[in-house]
Copies of this chain bind each other. A is one copy, B any other.
Amino acid sequence: ILFLFMQLYHVLGQNEMLQKKKNAVLVDGVILNGPIMDSKAGEKFVEEACKIIMEEVIQKADDVTEKVCEWQAPETLKQILDLEMRDTGESHQKLLQLCRDVIQYSVKTSHPRFFNQLYAGIDYYSLVARFITEALNPSVYTYEVSPVFLLVEEAVIKKMIEFIGWEEGDGIFNPGGSVSNMYAMNLARYKFCPEIKEKGLSGLPRLVLFTSEECHYSMKKAASFLGIGTENVYFIKTDERGKMIPEELEKQVQRARKEGSAPFLVCATAGTTVLGAFDPLDKIADICEKHGLWLHVDASWGGSALISRKHCRLLHGIHRADSVAWNPHKMLLAGIQCCALLVKDNSGLLKKCYSAKAAYLFQQDKFYDVSYDTGDKSIQCSRRPDAFKFWLMWKALGTTGLEERVNRALALARYLVEEIKKREGFQLLLEVSKNGTELLLLLGRVAPIIKERMMKKGSMMLGYQPHQGKVNFFRQVVISPHVSREDMDFLLDEIELLAKDL
């Protein structure tokens, strides 16, 4: 083990300082004097690459005349990229060309016409925070190695809790909404029966949780990962807008009780992935209270509406939740990944549930207040300082600037709705009648063709999918503050153009 690690004991009573000049030292065939890196050449390489990033990515981010993507089939792209890692390294010139290629053939998710995912656009402030993070390469677990980022995370969590409406609480940034949902599920389970941490689920009655049939797929992944099992996720029916029906929830909870299983958790969704539905949190909270169930709200997508005084009513009742997942990397552009799991409990539940008390990291005899060492609240060891990007962006824009983004995104969506209603040949999914099934089936085959054409042209990107028995339709996501009414008009014109011979 001495090959990799040094352990040294320092012994008292050594008062003299030894300082000897030594000559070149050779150990195991390696010369150990001086560093082996050419720092100046390295710095120059970084500078040149930064220039490319600035010109090819950042300055083009608002340019609609640029392509959103430059489509290449996998086998062709493999040839272009020269993926092979070899014994000897490449020249800086070759590497810079590789960087250019990587940029050229990557999808420009910051392009104003990238509407494909629940993230889009560029925010200059969070981007700067991200560059700082990468350069500093921190890991957030102890105050001694991440003093700034731990304090920033604390401040951001406090502020997010204010917007949820809790008087106090706790939280942790983690790698995504899916992982946040897992955190919540495990926390609810721990609260339900703390012994599971040590004893596991073997021999216990079947734990059951409830979520709407429109929930994110991470609920199933979480139930499977946590050993609960996907069959023990009871999916609650939704109304025609995709919102959980509280009466159906009540029925399912009663069914679970009759079966002798152990209901412990309801996961409501604030902003479902496909339809953007907000579950009626207040009514769901009533049922949770009545039955003593933990209420988790997956507000990964919709949580950012809390920032808007106009639209926060969509999440009315969220203050009654026990935990909330909220991803500022989606509607607020904080950059992937920036996701918080927030918990109403302030009695240290998060730490009790997750701690493993590693002595090498969380020494209790440190010279500062070790309550700042929050790493033991996490399922991770190394953890990125994701709160920092949100913080710098918030400092830059202020709450009003963030609010403006949300209001504008929603106003643009409303504008598009009205335009679609006016246009012949377009229909809103939720207004389609059930008649004419054959035509609908035929229609379902149109979206993939339009999608293929738009990607090969590179003019925009927009997702399609089938959903709950309905055939393929386009799902338009509006987020970026670089998007304007003109892009909405373009979107409809371009779909028409791409489909004109179909």
Contacts and interface: CB of A to CB of B under 8 A. Distances in A.
Contacts of A242: 1
Interface in A74-125: 74, 77-78, 81, 83-90, 95, 98-99, 101-103, 105-110, 112, 116-117, 119, 122, 124-125
A175 interface: yes
Contacts of A235: none
A275 B2 CA distance: 8
Contact of A148 (B73, B102, B500): B102
Contacts of A428: 2, 6-9
Contacts of A477: 5-6
Nearest to A446: B10
Nearest to A98: B395
Nearest to A242: B1
Contact of A77 (B148, B178, B226): B148
A248 interface: no
A18 B43 CA distance: 52
Contacts of A397: 89
Nearest to A448: B365
Interface residues of A, number: 256
Interface string A31-71: 01111110100110111011001100111011000000101
Nearest to A395: B90
Interface in A266-288: 271-278
Interface stretch (A250-258, A316-324, A404-412): A404-412
The count of identical subunits is 2
Contacts of A3: 276, 311, 314, 410, 413-414
A47 B172 CA distance: 31
A372 interface: yes
Interface stretch (A289-297, A340-348, A460-468): A460-468
Contacts of A19: 493
A424 interface: yes
B276 A1 contact: yes
Nearest to A57: B135
Nearest to A311: B3
Interface string A197-228: 11111111111000000001110110111111
B43 A89 contact: no
Contacts of A224: 196-198, 354
Nearest to A56: B135
Q: Which of A1, A274, A488 has the most CB of B within 10 A?
A: A1
Contacts of A466: 359, 363
A69 B311 CA distance: 44
Contact of A432 (B9, B57, B432): B9
Contact of A205 (B72, B144, B202): B202
A443 B98 contact: no
A459 interface: no
Interface string A331-361: 0000111000000000000000010111111
A85 B159 contact: yes
A399 interface: yes
A71 to B, nearest CB: 8
Given A4-B410, A137-B109, A186 B225 contact: yes
B43 A59 contact: yes
A361 B196 CA distance: 34
A176 interface: yes
Nearest to A73: B368
B128 A145 contact: no
A4 B302 contact: yes
A467 B14 contact: no
Given A11-B425, A217-B356, A273-B358, 4 more contacts: A9-B426, A35-B484, A74-B143, A89-B401
10 contacts: A6-B477, A8-B428, A10-B443, A11-B443, A28-B310, A39-B482, A77-B151, A87-B400, A105-B147, A363-B466
A-B pairs, 6 with minimum CB distance:
A227-B227, A200-B229, A14-B425, A5-B276, A42-B124, A7-B429
